[in-house]
Chains A and B, each alone.
Chain A
């Protein structure tokens, strides 16, 4: 505190730094109102249940009481919920590797000097990202429906037949295909962008050393864009476990999709058809927890792998 000038300078600094709060205030308010409060509320409701007081089903005959972990136990013992969770897992296991595999393949081809029509292909493959899931689901729905499908038409024209992809055995693949169609292009652009930030001297040297283009891709390009690949993977996992629009839109076209096909459909039915917000909240919390466990587990797994590679 020797020189008075420094005090004024630092007090000016502190005064301006306080403006940081002004700038984050709108975001903080939205965060509280639309994220923090709803989560706390969901947690609270998930531990509550309705109890019938007295005998009649009268309006005043119900009160809310603590349920402990009762709702969670009920959800985990519910075969419909477990079946929907299993479907979401299988769906994710089909969708995420296929979609990201295709996205990576296309990104590498776009980055390759030997492919032609690259600009055109990039635009065409990215285009489905402009189509929201609701609309892509109904378009694919008509492409699946034997009455309107060009594939069935052509197969019959040459005297063959196609399996009905909306049948109970195949409908999961039909739904996964919609996700693959909608997500490949976006992930391709993400991966392609990060491929282009790999310094080209790196693989030019490899080419001079006699590496084939495939070897360069696998040994140099893919490891270099691993961080982007991991993030696209995490975001895809989070999205697939919440699949909702696609099965909802295909439902009018087939009997193969139940009202509880995906976990989110089950939660929706619990909350708004059965009016059981308690079970629905417990279900939401469980799906969110499962998503966290799977995405963080995945991150840990690949991180330990990546570090093992670095040490080598």
Chain B
């Protein structure tokens, strides 16, 4: 428990500190002398390689499968490449006048737009909770904590009914608005704000006559930034992964995100197997940018994600 609290006090630093922490740690370990002799272990390496292979199989498979024509998909060995990739991608983009591109655009709107709004709201709330004392603060924070553990299942049906009554079901708002609230993001932002924004600096800015909103946007947000990137990524993945919300809320397929769109194509595949090629190509096209994004932003995933959560 003591370790968790020390880590909780310092999670914001772990984003950037990781990059300098890693080489330092490894050099100190290897430099610590002949302890244990560091013989490479075949078993240890082998297990890691097996894990890596298991993780890569579906991703490698989709690369090959997307290069096949509809006939080849069921007739040739799956890891035998073919030459139809470009045609498949063209077919995908041509499907119903570019519906797939529309889904891609919607996905960006929901996931990037929703996560940006969510991060902003979380940052403000976390900052307010960490640096201000006001009545009801404890109650609000406890409600947020309860929200972290709340299973989304209880929200799906009533959210739909309420949005339907407000005339907002089957609109962009129906998916965007519920995505703004992220209790876990607020919780993380509070920790980041407490750890990275010094109170003295805020007092100094106040004495200089800076307004509260200006202090927040000019000083606090940049200081919290590494942590906020993590909050953003969390919510981005959360929205992009959430199948049930758009599936329930949306009826018009021009509003679908990629996930719901591909699932409807998959259902059509049961009666027209040629659709499977479109589904597979769609899957490939949509995971490539995500994988690229993940590789680029790797270090932000290594900050201590749950360490701070073990407090209550």
Q: Is the Cβ of A292 less than 8 Å from the Cβ of B149?
A: yes
Q: Which residue of A lies closest to B48 (CB)?
A: A121
A108 to B142, CA, bound (A): 34
A185 sits at the interface (CB 8 A): yes
With A102-B51, A190-B305 in contact, do A142 and B280 touch (Cβ < 8 Å)? yes
**Which of A12-20, A59-67, A89-97 makes up part of the contact surface?**
A12-20
Q: Is the Cβ of B152 less than 8 Å from the Cβ of A242?
A: yes
With A16-B132, A114-B38, A234-B149 in contact, do A121 and B259 touch (Cβ < 8 Å)? no
Number of interface residues of B (CB under 8 A): 116
Q: Is the Cβ of B61 less than 8 Å from the Cβ of A139?
A: yes
A214 to B200, CA, bound (A): 47
Q: Which of the residues A112, A133, A207 comes within 8 Å of B243, measured between beta carbons?
A: A133
Q: Which of the residues A147, A190, A280 comes within 8 Å of B157, measured between beta carbons?
A: A280
A285 sits at the interface (CB 8 A): yes
A197 to B298, CA, bound (A): 18
Q: Is the Cβ of A23 less than 8 Å from the Cβ of B124?
A: yes
Interface size class of chain A, counting residues whose CB lies under 8 Å from the partner chain: 35 or more
Q: Is the Cβ of A115 less than 8 Å from the Cβ of B48?
A: yes
Q: Which of the residues B7, B45, B154 comes within 8 Å of A284, measured between beta carbons?
A: B154
A197 to B21, CA, bound (A): 10
The contact string, 1 if C-beta is below 8 Å from chain B, for chain A 150-164, is 100100000000000
For the residues of A in contact with B, the DSSP-based class is helix
Q: Is the Cβ of A17 less than 8 Å from the Cβ of B134?
A: yes
Q: Which residue of B lies closest to A295 (CB)?
A: B149
Best-buried of A130, A200, A242, A268 by chain B (most CB within 10 Å) = A130
A135 to B289, CA, bound (A): 14
A120 to B121, CA, bound (A): 36
A207 to B121, CA, bound (A): 47
Q: Is the Cβ of A197 less than 8 Å from the Cβ of B7?
A: yes
Q: Which of the residues A125, A204, A285 comes within 8 Å of B51, measured between beta carbons?
A: A125
With A21-B134, A143-B57, A143-B58 in contact, do A35 and B181 touch (Cβ < 8 Å)? yes
Q: Is the Cβ of B158 less than 8 Å from the Cβ of A27?
A: no
B180 sits at the interface (CB 8 A): yes
Best-buried of B3, B48, B65, B162 by chain A (most CB within 10 Å) = B48
A75 sits at the interface (CB 8 A): no
B95 sits at the interface (CB 8 A): no
Chain A to chain B contacts (Cβ below 8 Å), 7 pairs: A16-B206, A23-B129, A23-B132, A38-B155, A138-B263, A142-B61, A149-B78
List the interface of chain B (C-beta within 8 A of A).
1, 3-4, 7, 14, 21, 25, 28-30, 32, 35-36, 38-41, 44-45, 47-49, 51-59, 61-62, 65, 73-74, 77-79, 120-122, 124-125, 127-129, 131-134, 137, 140, 143-144, 147, 149-162, 177-178, 180-181, 183, 186, 206, 212-213, 216, 237, 240-241, 243-244, 247-248, 259-260, 262-263, 266-267, 269-270, 276, 279-280, 283, 286-287, 290-291, 293-295, 298, 301-307, 309-310
